[in-house]
Amino acid sequence: MGYSDSAFPYKITPEFRKHQKRVFFITVLLYCSFHSSRTAWAYVKVSVTEDSYYTDKMIGIFDMCFMIAYASGLFISGWIGDRSNLKNFLAIGAIISVAGFITFSTAANTVHSVIFGSFCFLLNGFGQSRGFPGNMSLLGNWFEPRVIGIVVGCWTAGINVGNIAGYQFGRLIINDLGIHWRYALYISGACMVIMAAMLFFFLKSNPNSAGFQEDV
């Protein structure tokens, strides 16, 4: 059973569809976790300035460092991703990002250094920059051209889901439970690590690595 697409080198069988669904849902959840961490940070920034050495101006510098690393990293990560095992590439990006903002949130009350904070957010931004190009490459490897538009359209809805989740993490931790702001980032970071582990252990970067042969 199955059918062929002249623009796609693999026969679309029920087993192949199972892999496509797995790729879609795990990458959606991974990218949700990327955006959730960004929104959680946006929510807790006021609490950071009230609770630590860091001022609004310093937080602005950290955000600028994040955006510089993210913007430049998109190009660099796209180039690296085209030459890498994509699941390793994405999993490492998630870990780099988590390392950056978890290090900052853990040490914010004891380490009073703009250079330290800037480094953490440069690290975070570079790790996050792997998310979009890496996931798009994965989808491109697994989905035939005739459906890739609708697949990517549905996939990008995960951005909004992640933003909502990050906001709710922040609100729940700070407003409802009255817990220290850093735990909103810890929860977001834990979600990223879990999603990265799922991607690493349950996905293949392309059909060939999953045992599918090109339909020639």
Query: What pLDDT score was predicted for residue 199?
Result: 95
Average pLDDT score over the chain? 92
Q: What is the pTM of this model?
A: 0.91
State yes or no: pLDDT of 1 exceeds 70: no
* pLDDT-above-90 percentage for the chain: 80
Mean pLDDT of 88-106: 95
User: Residue 9 belongs to what H/E stretch?
Assistant: strand 8-12
pLDDT of residue 169: 85
Q: What whole-number distance in Å separates Cα of residue 213 and Cα of residue 164?
A: 40
Calpha distance 108→86 (Å, rounded): 33
Q: Which of 35, 29, 188 is nearest to 98 (CA)?
A: 188
* Rg, Å, the chain Cα set: 19
The predicted pLDDT at position 3 comes to 56
The vertex-80 CA angle with 76 and 86, nearest 5°, equals 130
Contacts of residue 149, defined as CB under 8 A and 6 or more positions apart, other chains included, come to none
